[in-house]
Amino acid sequence: MIDYNDLIGKPFQDQGRGPHGYDCYGLLVEIYRRNGITLPPVNVSVCACQDLPQAEINKHIKNWNKLKEPEIPCAILIKAHLGYAQHIAAYIGNRRMIHVTADRAVVVDPISKYKNKIIGFYQYVYNNHIN
């Protein structure tokens, strides 16, 4: 089992890719890295994501397959208002997710806390394991 305890409490940082701060995609990249998978870079400000047209967002998720049930690791898309994805978390097992928010830093929460806001679970289709 992979240890994520060193990430807990790291602050939110817009476009943060670690190790001192993360945005939600940067944290997802780190979780996947620890599981031996390299995610592609996405150079979009998290603050701007909520203003992107759905077609632009779809370009960034084309290599992701929707899952019926979460698997380690997978992304959890979370909606804010109007049904648009505004947040992403990483599934880490035992019905828990790790994510970062500006007001709470990096935390682990049960996915049940967001059950009415979860759009879906997504697994990255990859061919590039870390050696």
pLDDT digits (tens, 9 = 90+) for 43-101: 655 444 554 555 555 565 668 888 999 999 999 988 876 656 688 999 999 999 999 98
What pLDDT sits at residue 121? 94
* Closest-CA residue to 30 (of 51, 52, 7, 47): 7
Q: If you ran DSSP here, which 8-state letter would residue 41 be given?
A: P
Threshold 0.75, pTM exceeds: yes
End-to-end distance of the chain based on CA atoms, in angstroms?
Answer: 19
Cα gap 4→10, rounded to integer Å: 11
Domain ranges, ordered by start, for the chain: 5-124
The topology under which CATH files domain 5-124 is endopeptidase fold (from Nostoc punctiforme) (3.90.1720)
What pLDDT sits at residue 129? 42
Cβ(57)–Cβ(65) below 8 Å? no
Cα gap 15→13, rounded to integer Å: 6
Residues in the chain: 131
What pLDDT sits at residue 82? 63
